[in-house]
């Protein structure tokens, strides 16, 4: 990772110097070692400050809508972020010629809360060492398996391959991850009884504080004015005024990105209450795959999404309501 | 004397202007009956129905929501109901995933000539809602008080 | 000073909750927030912060204020009365206690907010000293002592025991009520526990954050600083920071109408939202930079101007929860100050 970071810094400085781009969207060091923020770097010297380590979970593609309108912008995209980029291209929210994509290799991003949850306190630094993480704390060093500390979206990573790029750093690209188990939890929920599922979602969704972080971080949520922000829509509420309120919000949020969601996992990553929102999106992805054929949003930039498409032989909605009851 | 409050379901039926609404008209002019619990909302095409309409109907106290449109292939706008079909399949699947009773929502294709079908469909749906009882899981508690 | 074994805390909770509601940090679905205690619920002293602060108890995220019924030409208004039953809140940290002071300044000054005032009058607050502050904590920068959290009763956990001391009459009355569970003790154990916490406090990375660039009368100096342009860029415009903040007090009042019945309720609002303080002419903060600046200027300049105190308490919730880690600490440091290198 440190090697990649070094290469990225010099390459980005080079790109700014030779006029390929006038700014780079990348990650900047936070207050601590684990809280990198998305940032723009507009000069070759500034580009020396960009950071790339195992705490760069944030998906940068959505920032392009706002910041790649003028001039030429370079952006660092991890494999999963490239799907979102393609989806934005499909929907004409960004234009390809304004953007220079640097695909960066990724072998999973770390969730600091998972390390903390192991009872490790006073963490001062985390270093990668092969498959392990060396965690320095106020009370000495500890080694943990990186696989145990990955962000939820990285645990079920679907691809290490970049689906769009102008250049790759490092040059060798990864492969799709076939056995990613990303529908395991959805299947587990499906196997429950309706009552159990209701309990599960009631408990999870009632934690929602309607901060809209899931919506605002989502690279597929790009409406200029959200229906939930429009006081004339009759559904804008700003708060969970009632137990149904949060369900309606989350059903509609997930529905609106159904067929467009690339499963980048940002919604769950940003949720301050740790609601597993990706399980709603994955349910739609799974159903779409089953009913309308395998579909991965953002794989290319010229696909027609399954919910803006049809065949005359599609299943009737009764296919859902007649499914075995449990 | 305590009078037990009898359950009177509120049922919303979204009917497309060209087929199902005309089907309802035909049911009426043929003097076929369907329960008065059904409140029809006319929409230009079944495709006009945003999932949010259905959720909002539930939120505001509906116990069942039925969506009626032209038969696939017969849409006045050629293809509107094909999109409806996919959307509603997805919405119903999500409601089921959240643990909501399956029977509360339904899609039926009713043409302008099917007055009898309209009446049968509504009678069946209302019977199903009576069976399921009051909508608690999807209702906003503020409107029940 | 009164003593109770930590393992007997549930007896203490049961005794208090026998005739009133007891709010405390409770785990639900994997997150800890203030909730109403029911028999058997466990208090976890190792959890430093709830996600939503204690603000949620005194100024709930959503509360109904009145309902209206229209029948023909008749119009009936039924106001919903403020709380009139006593209740207790347990487990409040020092930063949240200071946060309530900030809320008091707003809601208890003229015009008094009757809903908030009623909750303050009927609520007894038991604070608990922080035994393991985290690296995101910087309450000491605002002169808060997390070992002496204040409030009606303050508690500190010392080994196997939890030690209570009452600061107000309400607090004394509550401890009297459960007196048979408690035994008397001197201050030495508490002092030892506090001393060891203070050692950790000195090691906290944000403890010496320099606030000299901020405060009363700095509006003109800070308002047009070029740093805002860069800082606001990564902000997503979500409301996480405002909703987890113990002092953000903006709210919106809305009507919920079904048929002939309307419920008027108020709910938290966030200055990060595009429709915040929307008026007939539109909004007066049309872009992200203005909204972003508003939040920090309010906490660190406008509030001190008006009430003589910062309305940031250094709890570190926004530092930990911001989806893109663009938080108040970065903003404070960006505007200068000697130690903020």
The upper half-sphere exposure of residue C150, i.e. CA atoms within 13 Å in the direction of its Cβ, equals 12
pLDDT in tens, A240-296: 766 777 788 999 999 999 999 999 999 999 999 999 999 999 999 999 999 999 999
pLDDT band for position B67 (cuts 50, 70, 90): very high
Which residues, 6 or more positions from C287, have their beta carbon under 8 angstroms from its beta carbon? none
Domain positions in chain C are 2-203, 219-334
| A123 contacts in chain C (CB < 8 Å) | 135
- B132–A contact, CB cutoff 8 A: no
- B107–A contact, CB cutoff 8 A: yes
Which chain C residue shows the shortest CA-CA distance from B61? C258
Neighbouring chains to C with at least 3 Cβ pairs closer than 8 Å:
A, B
- A109–C contact, CB cutoff 8 A: no
Three-state SS letters, chain C: CEEEEHHHHHHHHHHHHCCCEEEEEEEECCEEEEEECCCCCCCCCCCCCCCCCCHHHHCCCEEEEEEEEEECCEEEEEECCCCCCCEEEEEECHHHHHHHHHHHHHHCCCCCCHHHHHHHHHEEEEEECCCCCCCCCCHHHHCCCCCCCCCCEEEEEECCEEEEEECCHHHHHHHHHCHHHCEECCCHHHHHHHHHHHHHHHHCCCCCCCCCCCCCCCHHHHHCCCHHHHHHHHCCCCCHHHHHCCCCCCEEEEEEEECCEEEEEEEECCCCCCCCCCECCECCCCCHHHHHHHHHHHHHHHHHHHHCCCCCCCCCHHHHHCCCCCCHHHHHHHCCCCCCC
- C256–A contact, CB cutoff 8 A: yes
Peptide bond preceding A120: is omega within 30 degrees of 0, i.e. cis? no
Give the model's pLDDT for residue A10: 95
Report how far apart, in Å, the C-alpha atoms of A188 and of each of A202, A204, A226, B89, C61 are. 17, 16, 32, 21, 33
Number of domains in chain A: 3
Tell me the shortest Cα–Cα distance from C3 to chain B, in angstroms.
44
- B113–A contact, CB cutoff 8 A: no
More confident site: C85 or A119: C85
| C259 contacts in chain B (CB < 8 Å) | 61, 143
Token readout for A218 is: 């989502």
Pair A103, A129 in one domain: no
Which chain A residue shows the shortest CA-CA distance from C265? A241
SS3 A155: helix
The upper half-sphere exposure of residue A14, i.e. CA atoms within 13 Å in the direction of its Cβ, equals 7
Pair A284, A161 in one domain: no
Of C31, C62, C274, the CB nearest to A240: C62
C133, C227, C238: best to mutate for the A interface, most A CBs within 10 A:
C238
- C326–A contact, CB cutoff 8 A: yes
- B52–A contact, CB cutoff 8 A: yes
* Nearest alpha-carbon partner for A25 in C234, B59, C202, C307: C234
Residue B113 contacts residue B85 (beta carbons within 8 Å): no
Answer yes or no: do A203 and C265 touch at CB < 8 A: no
pLDDT band for position C228 (cuts 50, 70, 90): very high
Share of chain A above pLDDT 90, in %: 75
Q: Which of residues 288-307 of A touch B (CB under 8 A)?
A: 288, 291-292, 306-307
Give the model's pLDDT for residue C109: 94
Answer yes or no: do A244 and B91 touch at CB < 8 A: no
Which residues, 6 or more positions from A212, have their beta carbon under 8 angstroms from its beta carbon? A228, C238, C239, C273
Give the model's pLDDT for residue A124: 82
Give the model's pLDDT for residue C208: 85
Task: Round to whole Å and give the CA distance between C175 and B67.
Answer: 61
Residue C180 contacts residue C154 (beta carbons within 8 Å): no
Give the model's pLDDT for residue A235: 78
Peptide bond preceding A170: is omega within 30 degrees of 0, i.e. cis? yes
Answer yes or no: do B86 and A306 touch at CB < 8 A: yes
- Name the pTM for this structure: 0.93
Ordered by where they begin, the domains of chain B are: 11-138 (3.40.50)
Which residues, 6 or more positions from C219, have their beta carbon under 8 angstroms from its beta carbon? C297, C301, C302, C305
pLDDT in tens, B4-61: 678 899 999 999 999 999 999 999 999 999 999 999 999 999 999 999 999 999 988 8
ipTM: 0.91
pLDDT of residue A326 exceeding 60: no
Token readout for C13 is: 């909770």
Which residues, 6 or more positions from C163, have their beta carbon under 8 angstroms from its beta carbon? C1, C2, C3, C4, C155, C156, C157, C185, C189, C190, C193
pLDDT in tens, C305-323: 999 999 999 999 999 999 9
Q: What is the mean pLDDT of chain A?
A: 91
Pair A127, A161 in one domain: no
Answer yes or no: do A231 and C278 touch at CB < 8 A: yes
Neighbouring chains to B with at least 3 Cβ pairs closer than 8 Å:
A, C
- Residue A308 belongs to a domain: yes
Task: Round to whole Å and give the CA distance between A105 and A162.
Answer: 8
pLDDT of residue C295 exceeding 60: yes
Give the model's pLDDT for residue B138: 85
SS3 A301: coil
Share of chain C above pLDDT 90, in %: 79
| B142 contacts in chain C (CB < 8 Å) | 64, 256, 258, 263
SS3 A316: coil
Answer yes or no: do A213 and C256 touch at CB < 8 A: no
* Nearest alpha-carbon partner for B16 in B28, B24, B5: B24
Give the model's pLDDT for residue B3: 57
* Nearest alpha-carbon partner for B49 in B133, B118, B96, B105: B105
Three-state SS letters, B117-130: HHHHHHHHHHHHHH
Q: Taken in order C236, C239, C244, C247, is the CA torsion positive or negative?
A: positive
| C34 contacts in chain A (CB < 8 Å) | none
Q: Which of residues 235-264 of A touch B (CB under 8 A)?
A: 235, 241-245, 247-248, 251-252, 254-255, 258
Give the model's pLDDT for residue A232: 81
Tell me the shortest Cα–Cα distance from B141 to chain C, in angstroms.
11
- Residue A149 belongs to a domain: no
pLDDT band for position B144 (cuts 50, 70, 90): low
| A228 contacts in chain C (CB < 8 Å) | none
Q: Which of residues 171-230 of C touch A (CB under 8 A)?
A: 203, 205-206, 230
Residue A211 contacts residue C238 (beta carbons within 8 Å): yes
* Residue numbers of the domain that contains A134: 114-144
Task: Round to whole Å and give the CA distance between C184 and C180.
Answer: 11
pLDDT in tens, B89-135: 999 999 999 999 989 999 999 999 999 999 999 999 999 999 999 98
* Nearest alpha-carbon partner for C252 in C291, C216, C278: C278
Of A195, A235, A255, the CB nearest to B90: A255
pLDDT in tens, C244-266: 999 999 999 988 888 888 889 99
Neighbouring chains to A with at least 3 Cβ pairs closer than 8 Å:
B, C
pLDDT band for position C274 (cuts 50, 70, 90): confident
Residue B126 contacts residue B37 (beta carbons within 8 Å): yes
- Residue A176 belongs to a domain: no
* Nearest alpha-carbon partner for B106 in A320, A250, A323: A320
Answer yes or no: do B61 and C258 touch at CB < 8 A: yes
pLDDT band for position A84 (cuts 50, 70, 90): very high
Which chain B residue shows the shortest CA-CA distance from A202? B98
Task: Round to whole Å and give the CA distance between C80 and A268.
Answer: 37
Task: Give the distance, in angstroms, between the CA of residue B97 and the centroid of all CA atoms in the same chain.
Answer: 20
Q: What is the mean pLDDT of chain C?
A: 93
Of A122, A213, A269, the CB nearest to C238: A213
Tell me which residue has tokens 């790029």: A165
Report how far apart, in Å, the C-alpha atoms of A44 and of each of A31, A50, C205 are. 23, 11, 30
Task: Round to whole Å and give the CA distance between C139 and C146.
Answer: 8
Token readout for B26 is: 């035909």
pLDDT band for position C283 (cuts 50, 70, 90): confident
Residue C89 contacts residue C125 (beta carbons within 8 Å): yes
pLDDT band for position C282 (cuts 50, 70, 90): confident
């Amino acid at each position: 990772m440190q090697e990649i970071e070094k290469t990225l810094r010099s390459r980005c400085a080079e790109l700014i110097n030779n006029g390929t781009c006038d700014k780079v969207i990348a990650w900047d060091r936070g207050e601590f070692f684990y809280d990198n923020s998305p940032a723009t770097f507009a000069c070759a010297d500034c580009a020396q400050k960009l950071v790339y380590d195992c705490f760069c979970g944030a998906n940068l593609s959505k920032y392009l809508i706002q910041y790649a309108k003028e001039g030429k912008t370079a952006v660092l995209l991890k494999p999963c972020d490239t799907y979102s980029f393609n989806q934005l291209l499909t929907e004409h929210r960004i234009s390809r010629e304004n953007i220079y994509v640097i695909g960066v290799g990724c072998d999973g991003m770390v969730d600091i809360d998972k390390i903390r949850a192991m009872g490790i306190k006073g963490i001062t630094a985390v270093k990668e060492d092969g498959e392990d993480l060396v965690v320095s704390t106020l009370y000495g060093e500890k080694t943990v398996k990186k696989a145990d500390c990955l962000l939820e979206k990285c645990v079920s990573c679907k691809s290490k391959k970049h689906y769009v790029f102008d250049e790759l750093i490092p040059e060798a690209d990864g492969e799709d991850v076939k056995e990613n188990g990303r529908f395991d939890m959805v299947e587990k929920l499906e196997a429950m009884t309706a009552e159990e599922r209701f309990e599960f979602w009631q408990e999870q969704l009632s934690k929602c504080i309607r901060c809209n972080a899931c919506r605002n971080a989502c690279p597929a949520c790009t409406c200029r004015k959200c229906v939930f922000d429009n006081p004339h829509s009759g559904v804008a509420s700003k708060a969970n005024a009632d137990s149904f309120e949060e369900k309606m919000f989350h059903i509609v949020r997930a529905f609106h990105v159904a067929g467009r969601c690339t499963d980048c996992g940002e919604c769950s990553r940003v949720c301050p209450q740790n609601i597993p929102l990706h399980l709603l999106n994955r349910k739609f992805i799974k159903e779409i795959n089953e009913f309308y054929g395998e579909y991965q949003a953002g794989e290319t930039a010229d696909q027609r999404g399954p919910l803006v498409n049809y065949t005359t032989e599609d299943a009737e909605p009764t296919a859902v309501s007649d499914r075995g009851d449990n | 004397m305590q009078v037990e409050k009898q359950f009177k379901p509120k049922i919303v039926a979204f009917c497309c202007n060209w087929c199902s609404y005309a089907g309802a008209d035909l049911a009426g002019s043929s003097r076929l009956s369907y329960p008065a619990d059904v409140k029809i909302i006319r929409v230009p095409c079944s495709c006009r129905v945003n999932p949010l309409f259905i959720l909002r109907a539930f939120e505001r106290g509906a116990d069942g929501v039925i969506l009626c449109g032209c038969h696939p292939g017969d849409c006045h706008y050629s293809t509107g109901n094909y999109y409806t079909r996919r959307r509603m399949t997805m919405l119903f699947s999500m409601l089921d995933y959240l643990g909501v009773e399956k029977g509360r929502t339904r899609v039926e294709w009713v043409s302008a000539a099917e007055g009898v079908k309209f009446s049968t469909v509504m009678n069946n749906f209302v019977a199903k809602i009576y069976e399921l009882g009051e909508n608690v899981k999807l209702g906003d508690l503020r409107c029940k008080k | 000073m009164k003593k109770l074994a930590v393992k007997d805390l549930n007896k203490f909770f049961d005794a208090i909750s026998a005739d009133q509601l007891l709010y405390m940090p409770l785990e639900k679905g994997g997150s800890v927030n203030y909730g109403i205690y029911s028999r058997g619920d466990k208090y976890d002293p190792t959890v430093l912060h709830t996600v939503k602060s204690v603000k949620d108890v005194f100024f709930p995220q959503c509360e109904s204020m009145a309902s209206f019924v229209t029948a023909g030409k008749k119009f009936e208004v039924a106001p919903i009365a403020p709380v009139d039953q006593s209740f207790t809140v347990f487990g409040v940290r020092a930063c949240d206690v200071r946060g309530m002071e900030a809320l008091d300044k707003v809601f208890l000054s003229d015009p008094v907010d009757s809903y908030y005032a009623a909750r303050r009058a009927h609520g007894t607050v038991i604070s608990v000293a922080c035994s393991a502050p985290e690296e995101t904590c910087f309450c000491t920068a605002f002169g808060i002592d997390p070992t002496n959290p204040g409030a009606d009763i303050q508690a500190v956990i010392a080994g196997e025991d939890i030690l209570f001391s009452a600061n107000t009459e309400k607090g004394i009355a509550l401890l009297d009520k459960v007196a048979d569970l408690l035994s008397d003790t001197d201050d030495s154990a508490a002092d030892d526990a506090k001393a060891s916490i203070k050692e950790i406090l000195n090691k906290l990375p944000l403890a010496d954050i320099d606030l000299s660039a901020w405060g009363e009368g700095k509006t003109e100096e800070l308002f047009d600083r070029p740093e805002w342009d860069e800082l606001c860029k990564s902000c997503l415009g979500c409301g996480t920071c405002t909703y987890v903040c113990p002092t953000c007090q903006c709210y919106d009042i809305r009507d919920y109408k079904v048929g002939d019945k309307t419920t008027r309720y108020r709910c938290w609002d966030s200055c990060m939202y595009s429709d915040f303080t929307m008026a007939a002419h539109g909004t007066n903060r049309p872009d992200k930079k203005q909204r972003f600046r508003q939040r920090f200027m309010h906490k660190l300049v406008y509030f001190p101007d008006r009430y003589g105190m910062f309305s940031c308490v250094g709890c570190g919730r926004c530092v930990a929860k911001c989806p893109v880690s663009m938080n108040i600490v970065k903003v404070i440091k960006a505007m200068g100050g000697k130690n903020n290198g």
